Structure 1
Amino acid sequence: MLERRVNPVGRAATASVPRITLGGLRLAVLDLEQTANFMIDMVFPQRRLNRPLYLTSANGEVLARCSTEPMTDRLFRAADLINADGQPLVTVSRFRSKTPLPERVATTDLFHVVARKAQAAGLTFYMLGADDAENAAAVASVREQYPDLKIVGRCHGFLRGEALRAKVAEINALAPDYLWVALGVPYEQAFVEEYTPNLSNVGVIKTSGGLFNFLSGSRVRAPRWMQHAGLEWAWRIWLEPRRLFWRYLTTNPRALYLLLNRGRSTDIGGTHNQ
């Protein structure tokens, strides 16, 4: 996929969305409801683009990785819209910008708002990612919560080569309004870059990280007070210390430095580059 700065389709589609630069990335100044409404408006009552709109999310870890991993940085800058999925980003924006981020737009919360609206509008989902058992459990949970939501297909995230290309062709033939891709950073962003040209019948692609784990119930969200205090990372370390302790030990200090030093005090309109 072309970077948005040289992609007139992406620029035009998101021109009305205000953004601020924080930690080195330009983030959408939208709350949860506004983000969901934007996603609905892109496909209902009719598709507004002839290719998928690409939305992704950034937290402190993403900011840190983008500052040290050129490929990850490029993949995120190719997004049509980046949401702030981290309470520390919201908190810092309140004293770094005249137009602060209104709230954290966590994909785990956004999914449910979009699902309710999509169910009412008769729009369709495809869910790609996680292992097969986790994927199946997530889809079963969503179908139980939203019995009238049209989920046109699902697949685990471990296909490669020709099998993956065949699955992409199948997804495109099903033409879902929303493709939720949960492969983890930066694999899901790399998937979007490689396969967007083959997914012209998809309305919106939203990268989703560990969303399916929360939908299936295999992982539990942090208590609400920890989320509001920006301490969800500590909760996750407590649950998965071996996997996450070193990651957060190395990325959190860098993310804090970037948030405090790589932002702009002036607000940026939606028509500028990522």
Structure 2
Amino acid sequence: MPSERPNTHERRANPLGRAATASVARETVGGLRLAVLDLEQTADFMIDMVFPRRRVISRPLYLTSANGEVLSRCSTEPMTDKLFRSADLINADGQPLVMMSKLRSQKPLPERVATTDLFHIVARKAQDLGLTFYLFGADEAENEAAVTNVRRIYPKLKIVGHSHGYLRGDALRAKVDEINALAPDFLWVALGVPYEQAFVEEFMPRLANVGVIKTSGGLFNFLSGSRPRAPNWMQSLGLEWAWRLWLEPRRLFWRYLTTNPHALYLLFNRTRASQSKRD
């Protein structure tokens, strides 16, 4: 296993992000500093950052999520680690992280903040307040189906635009500039780890008119209906990974075989009480 690092806090020169998230308590779980927020609190925090006025005016606020695979990859992939630690806030999108924090942390994580659930809470609130969404990522068919379903479920939600994520070079830069011109309150980026984090790292300076960026993993697959959620009992027991493995064994077997044991090691050895919520 990789050796322990003396400092597992976010190493970032990020005064804007630190100031905007200063009120949010954090706990170190598996080596990453995670927000001590439940789903409703996370959604309220995101809304508060853009309504009635934008709180971070020179760039978007950037939220991402971590699960066991992310913990493992951050521990072994320096670039992935850097990308995650540049986020303004990291949510726990993994029940084992929540369970370990309840055993080891002074301020345990209240619940898993799955982006698939968070999206719907933010959408309901945004619909009532007239706030805007942009959905970027997945392939063209998945993206279109996801947007169609979201518009059906939330007919008053303002979706100012959407695009698949298979763009490169000049086409990608033009799309980013188009998103910036549309100035959505919330930009949902679903490209998968670590590509969506790298997208934010590269294009944040060109997205100054966006309110909040939330990386979203496989969110659009669930919104489109092409991938079913695990049963609630499996989610509550931290077994959603087993459900996903059953659905996609070829793609996920080796990944889970290598990352799950390592993530368990990190949860036991790099979970500790925080010294300060501002770290």
Question: What TM-score results when the alignment is normalised by the length of structure 1?
Answer: 0.97
Which ranges of 4 or more aligned residues in structure 1 deviate by more than 4 Å? none
1:112 to 91, 101, 120: 120
1:97 to 77, 101, 105: 105
Matches within 5 A, 1:41-190: 41-50=48-57, 51-190=59-198
Shift in Å, 1:271: 1.3
Give the number of equivalent residue pairs: 269
- SS of corresponding position for 1:6: coil
Residue in 2 aligned with 1:13? 20
- SS of corresponding position for 1:5: coil
User: Identity of counterpart residues, as a percentage?
Assistant: 80
**Gap regions ≥5 residues in structure 2:** 1-9
Question: What TM-score results when the alignment is normalised by the length of structure 2?
Answer: 0.95
Closer/same/farther in 2, CA of residues 255 and 44 from structure 1, 3 Å limit: same
Instruction: Report if the CA contact (8 A) 1:4-1:10 is conserved.
Output: no
Matches within 5 A, 1:232-243: 232-243=240-251
Shift in Å, 1:5: 2.9
State the distance in 2 between where 1:194 and 1:267 align. Answer: 30
1:153 counterpart letter in structure 2: G
Residue in 2 aligned with 1:196? 204
1:103 counterpart letter in structure 2: E
1:23-52: CA deviation from partner (whole Å, max 9, x where unpaired): 110000000000000000000001011210
Residue in 2 aligned with 1:258? 266
1:244 counterpart letter in structure 2: L
1:11 counterpart letter in structure 2: R
Residue in 2 aligned with 1:213? 221
State the distance in 2 between where 1:237 and 1:198 align. Answer: 37
State the distance in 2 between where 1:4 and 1:108 align. Answer: 28
Question: RMSD between aligned alpha carbons?
Answer: 0.8
